[in-house]
Structure 1
């Protein structure tokens, strides 16, 4: 059975970045775990939204995509700092899940917290594979594939695309589970449009997700 770990900076990044791939992998029998690092920052439109409703949005989105387990680390927005404590929290998940495939934000994403989580993911991967940091459990084997997904800034040059034509409606449905986010912007339309653009420019039709290849076949980045 394929084990997959998705590291998302914020709630909904997992859907925007690789929701179709998550659904496709889950449909094929893969076991998918999602880690959301940073808690939602409240805006003026969120005054009436309770913490339980925010949490339910993520739970509902993961259910739609077929995610087996979702872990929230609840780090503060804008005061986010990847210290040893946080690294060890991610390392512990990596050593528990022992993923064959990992997804994280691509290195040049336009959001500063997305870039910070990209670095957090890479450093945690190295730590999880090393003989050190025993407090986080025994070392994990390196995943065979690590991919960087796009959210706030599209990739300048996509190195890999995944056909998610059969999963696009699930991706859009999962995005619509983030009801509070849709009050800020039409992200459900955005995920469909980006997937259509990626497919047209790669295969000529359908819907695709694009990725940066960070590691393949166990090679270190």
Structure 2
């Protein structure tokens, strides 16, 4: 049975994105809502999207896409960004990435994290999912001395949609009042919209989610991997 969660007050939130623009596509409206509620959002980019165009060399693409990410995040109101700069298209489940993510989780002590959902067809998206889920598990325990900070358990893990729509979403967020700013932020990723109109695609998906769930004009839907908040059972 699908589930909808009640809103819960949060403090620190971390969004993990495989590439610049995945954060906006998957949960840009939810980021804006979290900020409106007074919560602090940090965004972590596992790669800088250096494979995102054939028009520029990789070093130049890193510069372009990181600048686009900064502008888009600033438009939403996010100022704290982390760029891990793994090679785009070759993201690995490896020690260095785990250590950095665990350390960041222990430092920021987030109430919730957002990651791509587990069934996304893009490999970098799935690896991001696997890295963060494992890091959340490890960050909670008294292990791994190479990771700084004290143990911290992330209460809520949401899997967002980017390339592959969810078959059975468990959580719905009404983003109707934030849809315009979400699209404005996404359109700042100009290098990516030149070839593929992600803005039109996500507007259609969010509208579909709103209509089919009945929760709003535009909605973002999520896989729910962990929840420390009360649950309303019933059809979406």
**If the TM-score is normalised by the length of the shorter chain, which range does it land in?**
over 0.9
Shifted more, 199-208 versus 38-47: the winner is 38-47
CA separation of 1:122 and 1:39: change in aligned 2, threshold 3 A: same
Q: How does 1:50-199 map to 2 (within 5 A)?
A: 51-199=62-210
Corresponding residue number in structure 2 for 1:214: 225
Q: Does 1:23 align with 2:32?
A: yes
CA distance in 2, matches of 1:82, 1:171: 30
CA separation of 1:29 and 1:80: change in aligned 2, threshold 3 A: same
Long gaps (5+) in structure 1: none
State the Cα distance separating 1:94 from its structure 2 match: 0.7
TM value normalised by structure 1: 0.93
CA distance in 2, matches of 1:34, 1:98: 14
Contact 1:2-1:30 within 8 A present in 2 as well: yes
State the Cα distance separating 1:81 from its structure 2 match: 1.3
Corresponding residue number in structure 1 for 2:54: 44
CA separation of 1:61 and 1:198: change in aligned 2, threshold 3 A: same
Contact 1:45-1:183 within 8 A present in 2 as well: no
Aligned to 1:134, the other structure's residue is in SS state coil
CA separation of 1:113 and 1:163: change in aligned 2, threshold 3 A: same
CA RMSD of aligned residues (A): 1.7
Deviations 1:97-137 (A, max 9, x none): 11001100111011111111111011111111111122322
TM value normalised by structure 2: 0.87
